Structure 1
Amino acid sequence: MARCNAFPLSFFTRRALFLSVSLILYCCNISQLHAAPTTLGASSFETYISDDGEPARINNLLKKVFEKAELDVELRVMRDAFLGSSVLTGKLDGEFAYVNLGEDSSNLLLSDVYLPAYLYAVSKNAEVESVRLFPHLKDNRVAIENRFANTPMFRTLKEIKWSRNPSTFDAFRQLADDRAPFLLTTELLARELNILLANDNEETLHYSAKPLAQTGFQLAVRKELADAKSMIERFNETVSSMQSNGEFNAPLSLPWLTKDVDGDGIADFIGHSDITRSSDSLATAYSLDGKPTSKNSKFFIDGKAHESLEQAQVSLVKDETPSTRASLLDKTTYQRLLQRW
Structure 2
Amino acid sequence: MNRAVTVIYNYCVIAIVLLGVSNITHAQTKPISLAGNKVASLIDGPESPALAIDIVKAVFKSQDVTVQATTQAWLGSGLRSGKYIGFIDHYSLNEPKNGYVYSKPYLQLNLHIAGREANVVNITRLDKIYRQRLGVENRFANTDMLRTERSVSWARSPSFISNIQQLAEQRVRYIIADKYMLDEFNKLLIANGEAPLYLSGASIYSPSLSVALRNDADNANTLIEQFDANLSAMKESGEYSKLVSLASEQPSVLDEALYAEIIRKW
Q: Distance in 2 between matches of 1:135 and 1:240?
A: 37
Check if 1:327 corresponds to 2:257. Answer: no
The match for 1:191 is 183
Partner letter of residue 335 of structure 1? A
- Inter-CA distance 333–52: structure 2 relative to 1 (3 Å threshold): farther
- Inter-CA distance 96–104: structure 2 relative to 1 (3 Å threshold): closer
Kept after mapping to 2: 8 A contact 1:144/1:171: yes
Structure 2: gaps spanning 5 or more residues: 1-18
The match for 1:175 is 167
Q: Which of 229, 236, 242 pairs up with 2:234?
A: 242
Kept after mapping to 2: 8 A contact 1:115/1:217: yes
**TM-score using structure 1 length:** 0.66
Q: Distance in 2 between matches of 1:174 and 1:52?
A: 29
The match for 1:281 is none
Structure 2 counterparts to residues 49-64 of structure 1, below 5 A: 49-64=43-58
User: How far apart are residue 333 of structure 1 and its match?
Assistant: 1.3
Structure of larger gyration radius: 1
Name the SS for the 2:75 alignment partner.
helix
Q: Distance in 2 between matches of 1:38 and 1:54?
A: 21
User: How far apart are residue 85 of structure 1 and its match?
Assistant: 4.1
Partner letter of residue 251 of structure 2? A
Q: Distance in 1 between matches of 2:206 and 2:183?
A: 16
1:103-160 deviations in Å (ceiling 9; x for gaps): 4422211111111111111111111112111222221111111111112211111331
The match for 2:6 is none
Partner letter of residue 96 of structure 1? I
Name the SS for the 1:71 alignment partner.
coil
Between Structure 1 and Structure 2, how many residues are aligned?
A: 245
Q: Distance in 2 between matches of 1:86 and 1:198?
A: 41
User: How far apart are residue 34 of structure 1 and its match?
Assistant: 11
Q: Distance in 1 between matches of 2:30 and 2:237?
A: 31
User: How far apart are residue 89 of structure 1 and its match?
Assistant: 4.7
Higher relative contact order, structure no. (Cα contacts within 8 Å, ≥ 6 residues apart): 2
The match for 1:74 is 66
**TM-score using structure 2 length:** 0.83
Q: Distance in 1 between matches of 2:262 and 2:179?
A: 19
Check if 1:214 corresponds to 2:181. Answer: no
Q: Distance in 2 between matches of 1:94 and 1:33?
A: 15
1:276-304 deviations in Å (ceiling 9; x for gaps): xxxxxxxx8xxxxxxxxxxxxxxxxxxxx
Normalized per residue, the structure richer in helix is: 2
Partner letter of residue 214 of structure 2? R
Q: Distance in 2 between matches of 1:138 and 1:33?
A: 52
Check if 1:252 corresponds to 2:252. Answer: no
Q: Which of 15, 31, 39 pairs up with 2:33?
A: 39
Kept after mapping to 2: 8 A contact 1:71/1:231: no
Partner letter of residue 200 of structure 2? S
Q: Distance in 1 between matches of 2:79 and 2:89?
A: 13
The match for 2:219 is 227
- Inter-CA distance 74–139: structure 2 relative to 1 (3 Å threshold): same
Q: Distance in 1 between matches of 2:261 and 2:241?
A: 31
Q: Distance in 1 between matches of 2:196 and 2:251?
A: 15
User: How far apart are residue 168 of structure 1 and its match?
Assistant: 1.2
Partner letter of residue 232 of structure 2? S
Name the SS for the 2:206 alignment partner.
strand
Q: Distance in 2 between matches of 1:330 and 1:251?
A: 21
Name the SS for the 2:135 alignment partner.
strand
Kept after mapping to 2: 8 A contact 1:58/1:252: no
The match for 2:194 is 202
User: How far apart are residue 193 of structure 1 and its match?
Assistant: 0.9
